[in-house]
Every structure is written in structure tokens, then in C-alpha cells.
Amino acid sequence: MKFRTLLFDLDGTLADTGPDLAYALNVVRVEQGRAEVPYSQIRPIVSHGGVALIKLGFPELAVESEAFAALRLRMLSIYRDHLAVHTRLFAGMDELLDSVEARGMNWGVVTNKPAWLTDPLMEQLHLSTRAACIVSGDTTPKKKPHSEPMLHACAQTGSDARECLYIGDAQRDIDAGRAAGMSTLVALFGYLGAADHPESWGADGLVAQPPQILDWLE
């Protein structure tokens, strides 16, 4: 079946959000009297969200502790005020979106990022009016790797799951897309770490750069 819709994970797939999230984490680290964490250590963690970032920055804290929760909220507050200072679309992504639209297809975002961060970020990237759907981590009761947000995106875009191609940089992205019946690609240009083995995730393909996604539309 011909693809009608491209769906993207946000952090590490559509946009390079890592620098701004790293800034927020390191502000919290400095506030707590600690040295900044090198970006090379932060980048592979970014796609796993705020909990994973605070675990990296403060490994001695229990995730269930009040101190952990307070630091996470502080980091997200800083991030909210610096959403798109250094965040950009990955190289070649803007041209890919232009090509998708020129073909009469539509595209959207399915992310686990909460809407209070997703929506203003998409607005600041000037993508809100272009996206056929923006599904955040709290849009549906369940989030990735569950299929529910993926099927919600289908309803929003007017496409059957078989007509959708989902691109992400984490195993939960591929699991969610497959569970919904979509074709899936791993964005190798995203925030993968040394322990990740994307070839084992069951995706339909792996792409090193955004322009290679066009090959899957032919």
C-alpha cells in the first residue's frame, strides 16, 4: 500500500533538541554545586526523557524520592524557558518535509514529550500549522511503546496504519509503530547510545540521514 502519512518521533528524530535539554540539566547541576556533564554523555540519554536525564545527573538519588522529583521539575522549568535556543531540525529534514507536502502526503509527530513542552516547541519551530497531527505523551491515556498514540495519529491524519511510515530513534518507537501495524524506520542520526542495537528492533529499515527516508516513499 502506498504511504500517505509520515510520522516522526520528536526528540532525536525530527529535531535536534539535545543541546537545549543538556543546558537545562547542567544549570540544575551547577545550582547543586556540581560540575557540568559533558554533552557527549547527555546526548544518548535525551530520547529517554526527563527522568533519565536526572538519573544521569544525580545517580545517587532514588527515582521515587522527593528530591529527585523536585530536580526533575526544576530542569523542565528551565527547559521550558529555553525550548528552541539551539534546537533545530536535523540537516535535510526541512527539505524532506517540503518533499512530503509536495507529493500531497501529510506528516505528523508522535512523541512521549508532554504537551506543555511539545506544543510550544512545535510553535517555535514554525511547524504547528504544517503538522497534520501532534500527539504528545499525555494526549492519550497510554504512551509509546503502546500503540494507542499511534492509532490516535491515524485518526488525526485520516490514514490507515498501513499507510503510515513511522520514524524514531528508540526501541519504544519501533515497538509502538509495529504494534499499530505501521511500517517503521530507525533514525540512526538520532540519540542512540553504545548499548543500543537498532538492527535487532524489528524495524523495516535504518536510515543514516533524513534524505534517505525519501527512498522509502518511492
Active-site residue identified among 9, 20, 173, 196: 9
pLDDT in tens, 37-49: 999 999 999 999 9
pTM for the whole structure? 0.95
Query: Residue 61 in contact with residue 75, Cβ under 8 Å?
Result: no
Q: Is the pLDDT of residue 163 over 70?
A: yes
Examine the domain organization and report whether 76 and 96 are in the same domain: no
Note whether 49 and 93 are same-domain residues.
no
Say yes or no to pLDDT of 1 above 90: no
> Is 38 in the same domain as 146?
no
Same domain flag for 93 and 197: yes
Q: Mean pLDDT, to the nearest integer, of 4-9?
A: 98
Neighbouring C-alpha atoms within 13 Å toward the C-beta of 205: 14
**End residue of a domain, out of 27, 59, 80:** 80
Confidence band of 206 (pLDDT split at 50, 70, 90): very high
Residues 179 and 101 in one domain: yes
Sole residue written with cell 509536495: 102
217 confidence band (pLDDT: 50, 70, 90): confident
Last residue of a domain, one of 80, 109, 125: 80
CATH code of 163's domain: 3.40.50.1000
Cα separation, 120 vs 79, whole angstroms: 11
- pLDDT, average across residues 156-175: 98
pLDDT digits (tens, 9 = 90+) for 66-94: 999 999 999 999 999 999 999 999 999 99
Residues 186-209 as b/e (b if ≥16 CB within 10 A, e otherwise) read bbebbbbeeebebeebebeeebee
Q: What is the pLDDT of residue 218?
A: 77
Q: Which of 11, 20, 173, 196 is catalytic?
A: 11
Identify whether residues 68 and 92 lie together within a single domain.
no
Assess whether 97 and 109 both reside in one domain: yes
- Kindly state whether residues 129 and 206 are assigned to the same domain: yes
210 contacts 107 by C-beta, under 8 angstroms: no
How many domains does the chain contain in total? 2
Domain boundary among 32, 53, 80: 80
Predicted pLDDT at 51: 96
Q: What is the mean pLDDT of residues 163-173?
A: 98
Concerning whether 204 is annotated as a catalytic residue, the answer is: no
Claim to verify: residue 97 and residue 45 sit in the same structural domain: no
Q: Which domain holds residue 26?
A: 18-80
16: annotated active-site residue: no
Which of 131, 107, 102 has its CA nearest to residue 119? 131
Verify that 151 and 109 share a domain, yes or no: yes
Query: Between 153 and 217, whose confidence is greater?
Result: 153
